[in-house]
Chains A and B, each alone.
Chain A
Amino acid sequence: MEPIEELEQDALELPAEPMRLNMGPSHPSMHGTIRMVLDLDGETIVNVDVQPGYLHRGFEKSCERGTWTQVFPYTDRLNYVSPMLNNVGFALAVEKLIGVEVPERCQYYRVILGELARISDHLTCNGAAAMELGAFTPLLWLLKVREWVYDVLERETGARMTHSFGRIGGMAAPPTETLADDIREVIPQVHKVVAETESLLLHNRIFLDRMQGVGNLSKEHALGFGCTGPVLRSTGVDYDVRKDHPYMVYDRFDFEVPIGHDGDNYDRFMVRMEEIRQSCRIIEQALEQMPKDGPISIDDPRLTTPDKGKVYTTIEATIAHFKLVMEGHKVPKGQVYGYTEAGNGELGFFLVSDGGGTPYRVRVRPPCWFGLQAAREMLLGEMIADIIPTFGSVNMIGGECDR
């Protein structure tokens, strides 16, 4: 038997090769279907290969089959947590290509519904973040108030999630009479629940330890990866499309763009929390400023289908309806990039029209795709358990990311 003294001291450690582990594509604690191939040294992540695409369903190609209006239901299914923002983003891009602007009342209406959608988006993301760290109560509380936000959207659009409410040149229907009252009832509830949630979490040692200093992303990396939205702002970059390239009537509102400084999970969480409050501010101001009456859609039968009553009784309206439904909007030949601030950042639609009634090409810049690219940078060197909150705070939405 060999004398033990002859062994070097380090050799007592078991030789550990990196272990390769597949996480996903179907994993109970992952958001959506995504696969991560991990190289682990013990519990530490040495390398991670993030593989999206499991929810690819040919969104962009599908858009080339129908008319321009028929794209709206598809956009609902991009970021399905805030479909109204996608509806509005697509409508704005097409309107930019046509060169028209919707009536003022419609612009306010779009802002209000869009900000409600943003609130529901952030409530969901942050609720899930807490839940994944073992705090189930905040999730239930936040989803409770999200349901109330959905109630408002349902009363306005007829659907809780997939509204398909946007139209080229306006919205499908004017606001209901109770819009202002409904919203003024729900906004204090949002404030209350957000405050309660913060009181539960922000003094919680476990929550803070798991969030602060975990999943760090530097400003340079965030910019380099093309991140926008909460992921970029959490690193300290003050960029919000609504402020920097105001569209619709966003330049008429007084609101702040919250930014973080570390770019960690905690900052991303807090940026979203604060954005909920800012969205509430925008909505309150928009309700004040919104004209009480006036058209909600552009009064041009080439863009907006006439009333059903007229369609059934007059030939001109029948023709307008026929042309818009069977052939689609004659969007002028050309291309356009329309961009708005969606829940996860800059949602861009690059559209090409050949002058027919059907999109020639629809390309989406899905905001969470860029956050997802940065996920590797955030995760390197972290523990395996940190994947869940970090990936959650990127808020990758399969419908949008994989299209």
Chain B
Amino acid sequence: MPTLKIDGQDVPFEPGDTIMRAAWRHGIEIPHYCWHPGLSVAANCRMCLVEITSGRRMDLPILRWDDKKNEYVPHTKPKLYPACQMTCGEDMEVSTTGEEAQGAQAAVQEFLLLNHPVDCPICDQAGECKLQDYWLEHGHQLKRKLTEPVHKPKGVRFGPTIVYDGERCVMCTRCIRVCDELVGDHVLDMRQRGNKSEVFVAPGRQLDHRYTLMTEHVCPVGALTSRDFRFKARVWFLRSAPGVCVGCARGCNTHVDFDPRYDRVYRLRPRDNMDVNRFWMCDDGMMTYRQVHEDRLLVPAIGRGEEREELTVKEVLRVAHRRLQQHEGARVGVVLSAHHSSEDNHVLASFARDVLGTDKIYIAANGGWAGDDILRHGDDNPNRAGARAAAGADAESLEDLIQDVLGGEVDAVVALGWVSMEGADELGPIAKLRTVVSLTSNDGPLPQVANIVIPVCSWAEQSGTFVNEQGIAQEFRRAIPAPGNIRPAWQTLVELAGLMGGQLKYAALSDVRTALTPTGAGPTAGEARA
């Protein structure tokens, strides 16, 4: 591989790479606002100006202000090049920290802040803002222009998800390019010139495609903010756990941002994975974090509808055990979930085969949504592949379960998860059974037809593995502890199996994973910089 030298360090590059991309791949940060690895090159922010010290120098005669003489003096400066646009050459030598490059970075930084409002205390970006970071690293010049800044529209509603603040904007056009290049919807553009420039939405339109939150995600400053996240949390209090989106079978990698003080998840962010989602996520996926706190079922209960009665976990497990014992094991239907981890599904399948002794295994899943050829997969279940692997070849759907119930082949059900494409009405025949155990984190059709409800952890409260549509097994990690003494489904099942006299020899998640490996679980797929 050919190499170039950046600040004396050898950096390999592929032919055609820009200096910025070679540096990014090598883990060197050249300051930039408008460049994004997933977008085209705009080279408009000028923050990445570098000096190329090898080859023929192009010197420019300029006048430079001399503080001592108090006048302009003639000076020669080398021409600087934007690293994001300059193609690498063999043995090129680049200086990003030389006096000239640093001077340019400081000057650009000072220009960008000329008209910036004093918004940090009320800005959601504060704490993860490039303007703040680079000011400290590359500028640290206090304000010299003391006249009134230029004012621009603030708090402009771009659409149902995004609010725009013109005064904070640095006109990097990343948001415009996301709409153009990722979504193919030229809904944003820039108008006016110079310090009057602003981003605006096409007349008669709203920013309302399916990837609007990516505009906020790529915004290096606080110009675009998510209406969902606005004013909810300060980012320096948030911690992050690696997650996998539960929106669809694509399995986009996420950062699950949570506040450890309140054990609350506040948002998802895409986690770069070149094999799966590259840098992006869709809006619906970004909003799946709400499942962790909305419509949760947290209290164990028995009975249906009005007669539902709350119990403790211990009591409800004992009830489930007694009821299941009254049925013939082979006539119990077991429902796996395409929304639960491979580990949960695997333990439930073992529970069915080894403890109950039934081969009536079904899979509950959502019925699909509108996919596209960007990220959204038509199958809106994160782990159908994992559930299938656990169920074996002859897995049947919930529809088959209803038929089996009506046909009298199944007279008790153990179901995982809350998701099903059938509503509670369609599941009516199941609701008539004497014993329907539901292990669920949220409310939904399955817990509604159950008469024994055992709450389990949601995906943010346990570690696990989802297998996406490509067959890549991706691990996600626990972000927050589960409320109360709720445990993951697989642990709950191990305890229930213990009560029923069966043995499931899983003491830790790693035991389940060891048992799983042949059927799909593996290491987290894809590297961020593949």
Contacts and interface: CB of A to CB of B under 8 A. Distances in A.
Interface of A: 300-302, 306, 310, 312-320, 322-323, 326-327, 330
A310 B127 CA distance: 20
Given A317-B142, A322-B132, A327 B236 contact: yes
Contacts of B131: 319
A327 B118 CA distance: 19
B136 A317 contact: no
A319 B120 contact: yes
B428 to A, nearest CB: 56
Given A302-B136, A310-B143, 7 more contacts: A301-B140, A316-B142, A320-B142, A322-B121, A322-B132, A323-B132, A323-B135
Nearest to B131: A319
A190 B135 CA distance: 50
B126 interface: yes
Nearest to B114: A315
Contact of A320 (B118, B127, B136, B236): B136
B236 A316 contact: no
B136 A315 contact: no
A310 B142 contact: yes
A330 B132 CA distance: 14
A127 to B, nearest CB: 47
17 contacts: A300-B140, A302-B136, A306-B142, A313-B118, A315-B118, A315-B120, A315-B143, A316-B142, A317-B142, A318-B120, A319-B136, A320-B135, A320-B136, A322-B121, A323-B132, A323-B136, A330-B136
A253 to B, nearest CB: 35
A300 B142 CA distance: 9
Nearest to A313: B118
A389 to B, nearest CB: 51
B126 A314 contact: no
Contacts of B113: 315-316, 319
B79 interface: no
B118 A314 contact: yes
Contacts of B132: 319, 322-323
B121 A326 contact: no
A351 to B, nearest CB: 21
A403 B127 CA distance: 33
Main secondary structure of the interface of A (DSSP, over half): helix
A315 B117 contact: yes
B54 interface: no
B292 to A, nearest CB: 27
Contacts of B236: 326-327
B40 interface: no
Interface residues of B, number: 19
Nearest to B146: A314
Contacts of B141: 316
A306 B118 CA distance: 14
Contacts of A300: 140
B116 interface: yes
Given A326-B127, A327-B236, A318 B121 contact: yes
Given A322-B126, A322-B132, A326-B236, A315 B140 contact: no
A333 to B, nearest CB: 15
Closest 7 A-B residue pairs measured CB to CB? Answer: A314-B143, A315-B116, A319-B135, A316-B143, A318-B120, A319-B132, A316-B142
B97 to A, nearest CB: 15
Interface string B448-489: 000000000000000000000000000000000000000000
Nearest to A299: B142
B120 A301 contact: no
A223 B468 CA distance: 69
A316 B135 contact: yes
A316 to B, nearest CB: 5
A327 B236 CA distance: 9
A317 B140 contact: no
A323 B129 CA distance: 11
Given A323-B136, A326-B127, A327-B236, A301 B118 contact: no
Contacts of A323: 132, 135-136
Interface in B315-360: none
A304 to B, nearest CB: 11
Contacts of A326: 127, 236
Interface centre among A317, A319, A326 (most CB of B within 10 A): A319
Interface in B116-175: 116-121, 126-127, 131-132, 135-136, 139-143
Contacts of B140: 300-302, 320
Contacts of A302: 136, 140
A326 B140 CA distance: 17
A94 to B, nearest CB: 17
A314 B143 CA distance: 7
B113 to A, nearest CB: 5
A270 B116 CA distance: 63
Nearest to A317: B142
A317 B139 CA distance: 12
Interface string B421-436: 0000000000000000
A6 B102 CA distance: 102
B160 to A, nearest CB: 30
Contacts of B139: 316
A327 B135 CA distance: 14
Contacts of A306: 142
A322 B377 CA distance: 42
Nearest to B134: A319
A376 B141 CA distance: 57
A321 to B, nearest CB: 8
A327 B142 CA distance: 19
A302 B136 CA distance: 7
Contacts of B143: 310, 314-317
Contacts of B126: 322
Contacts of B120: 315, 318-319, 322
A318 B118 contact: yes
Interface centre among B117, B135, B141, B236 (most CB of A within 10 A): B135
A64 B249 CA distance: 43
Nearest to A315: B116
B109 to A, nearest CB: 9
Contacts of B127: 326
Nearest to B144: A316
Interface in B185-236: 236
